[in-house]
Structure 1
């Protein structure tokens, strides 16, 4: 691959040379311009000029945007309304023609056991591994991976690295990451993008010491002081905060699964106000399913012995009354935000628990949303279509959507996915503030060990409740 004199309003590249025997990692913050380079390589960039360009050979692209395309295709092909059962989606083996010749690779990524599952039965991490396998098996010569470790549990990250290292020598890998800890040890070369320019590119051992010698993220994302605006909690009425020791969740012998496959069983969970709870476990163990049950987005909420905010599910309680007390961020909620208007509309929709904005907005609500957009440093994107924002910007908007009403319960399923070091720390620091001021109670799912903060009082390791099918 060769790029010379690339010019875009958000990115300048004088020259980038990637040879066939090299493995590359491209590192840059959310506002660095790194997404423009990815869009250029994947054919999505516009408004650019380039002096000379030799494209990657037979690229296989695994990005958040491509994952959304697959999801929407599966949604269009959902035949649940015409069947007497839930349509699980395209089977994993149908994505992987000739997979029997790659069984060691499937085993390395722990995906052999998923061959008969439908796409909609996979976790977000399993979906990413599936798309990586699809690209390899269908003959990609260049793998272009955007944040491949986001959404993967620790063991899956190890397995993915082992799989990438063991690829045939004629398969080249280019990884895009926005967190220092995600720069893989196996890459031979490293490119650094900051402040809209490719500012360094060369051997990993030469570039990496320069990065680790700076304050976290400052060298890369110095174009924006992300913490300029204080979190807009000044409008919270102390009388409306959740009183101490109020029971929010009570689940007895909790279970979940689909078809004949059980994900977990025997889970007893009680969460009172202030009981900030961390949930972890391997990909596919049912973490997101558990959260969907708790918030009422999975029909198993009625089969389980579940009380939410003191009311037993299935006893005539109002779903919308329950949702009004919950703010949520999740991969599935992100996927569902397809044609929903502007960034401002999405933040405001958090006041009404809807996907899209269908109610009249008052001046005070608009001012509150403007404050939250300023806090995530996207005030200038308020009127931009949500779908035109980068993945990281979309995720920050969804975080603001969840926080705008400071609900009794914040349900956060991998909320920092796609965020760089500074924005990840900013979200986690705000959750510390939520805990200190007793503004909400946090239920937090993550695969990242660097997100285990001291304010979590409980840690649910869902692997411990693995069900026997």
Structure 2
């Protein structure tokens, strides 16, 4: 009989760089067609436990048996590894003068005999994720959400016996989430599934086994729990809200005051790649105190639009854009713009690969740097420590950023974006990767920042349940994309 069994297992997993994460005394048994969800706080070790179950960890001691023949894992870490591999190709391209970066289709079928592919399933997935026009694109041209869709397609077409999905819904638009949920319900009839989820509302109805992970241990397991047993377990993840006080700003090192209430103005903006328009004829003005929510499906250009504002998209110089009193292309430096902006995004998280402490990660927000290359003032260190305390990370202030869990890293980058009380705070899917308690904490923080009035907020989000009180303005990217004939 196919099963995965771990008895008193000590295992190690390699993280970023040379970091190693250890699991001790791990015990769990997964049998065919059991559908599991692993729950726990950020940093509890959920992702590491899932990877160990799937066979992607080094077993140091104890008993590990895995008789599943075909196993697939989709996770933020595997997404990072794929991005890093393609980035290495891009760096090689510069040396060789050629561009062999993989296409989407090449990555989907990599390692498989094209003649033996289940073409019907592949077409179903392509339709589900609206990928028909992306198969011949270069991988590097995909958005973060589209990259997650690619990995899901690649995993599912292999028809695994055991499919491990670490936050599979994160970064997906509403339509894709609904379609994936329906597909997984169908797959659950023939496939053993293990989910790592932070959002309790995303637990599929067909899940019948619950495990609670704490400090790398599976501390509780429930098989086909009653509603009362399930609720008792989920109570472990709820946050008892406390009065949250936002730390003060560093008045000695603030951006110069603005004389105009208009922060950003885009006039008839457009972005295109390879002759294909991402969006066009977009007019948008952001005034101080007007908080905005930006919505749109994966690939609609949300992050692309935000990068026009920050200057991280070179097409900002081809457009009529005014930011913080500067007309784009008039000789302004990128630092004159970024001193007014706090920013968190999936791309920034993927790029933040330096091994500095959690404390210095927050401090780096004062200087808009990835890493810290200036000596922080005593006041800045005090403010950064207050942010760590607010987010429940005081005990990790000396820990290396690269050694922390994805969720704890996310919290640090949110604090980094907020720490200087920027004139414009851009939050591109800030809650991605956060457990229920920390998600509620961050949503409360954003509400308080909106109410304080010191920062104007632009918020990107796919989840209706993450609505922020105080955000009353909405920009829908579908209004600026070409409609299908």
State the TM-score, normalizing by the size of structure 1: 0.89
For the 8 Å contact 1:146–1:177, the answer to whether it is kept is yes
Within 2, Cα distance between the matches of 1:269 and 1:88?
38
Report how far residue 425 of structure 1 moved.
Answer: 1.2
For the 8 Å contact 1:190–1:207, the answer to whether it is kept is no
Within 2, Cα distance between the matches of 1:343 and 1:184?
34
For the 8 Å contact 2:50–2:194, the answer to whether it is kept is no
Q: What residue is the counterpart of 1:262 in the other structure? A: 277
Q: What residue is the counterpart of 2:53 in the other structure? A: 41
Report how far residue 73 of structure 1 moved.
Answer: 0.9
Q: 2:204 matched to 1:184?
A: yes
Q: 2:348 matched to 1:333?
A: yes
Within 2, Cα distance between the matches of 1:168 and 1:33?
25
Q: What residue is the counterpart of 2:15 in the other structure? A: none
Q: 2:240 matched to 1:220?
A: no
Q: What residue is the counterpart of 1:274 in the other structure? A: 289
State the TM-score, normalizing by the size of structure 2: 0.86
Q: What residue is the counterpart of 1:121 in the other structure? A: 141
Within 1, Cα distance between the matches of 2:26 and 2:348?
39
Q: 1:133 aligns with which of 127, 141, 153?
A: 153
Q: What residue is the counterpart of 2:481 in the other structure? A: 466
Report how far residue 311 of structure 1 moved.
Answer: 1.4
Q: What residue is the counterpart of 1:95 in the other structure? A: 107
Within 2, Cα distance between the matches of 1:48 and 1:415?
36
Alignment of 1:56-455 (within 5 A): 56-78=68-90, 81=94, 89-97=101-109, 98=114, 100-101=119-120, 102-138=122-158, 140-167=160-187, 170-193=190-213, 196-203=217-224, 206-212=225-231, 218-220=235-237, 230-233=245-248, 246-455=261-470
Change (3 A) 1:62 1:14: closer
Q: What residue is the counterpart of 2:30 in the other structure? A: 18
Change (3 A) 1:412 1:466: same
Within 2, Cα distance between the matches of 1:46 and 1:351?
40
Report how far residue 134 of structure 1 moved.
Answer: 1.2
Secondary structure of residue in 2 paired with 1:130: helix
Secondary structure of residue in 1 paired with 2:368: coil
Residue ranges of structure 1 left out of the alignment (5+ in a row): none
Secondary structure of residue in 1 paired with 2:279: strand
Residue ranges of structure 2 left out of the alignment (5+ in a row): 12-20
Secondary structure of residue in 2 paired with 1:443: strand
Aligned-pair Cα RMSD in Å: 3.1
Count of residues in Structure 1 that have an aligned counterpart in Structure 2: 462
Moved more, 9-18 or 164-173: 9-18
Report how far residue 148 of structure 1 moved.
Answer: 0.7
Report how far residue 127 of structure 1 moved.
Answer: 0.7
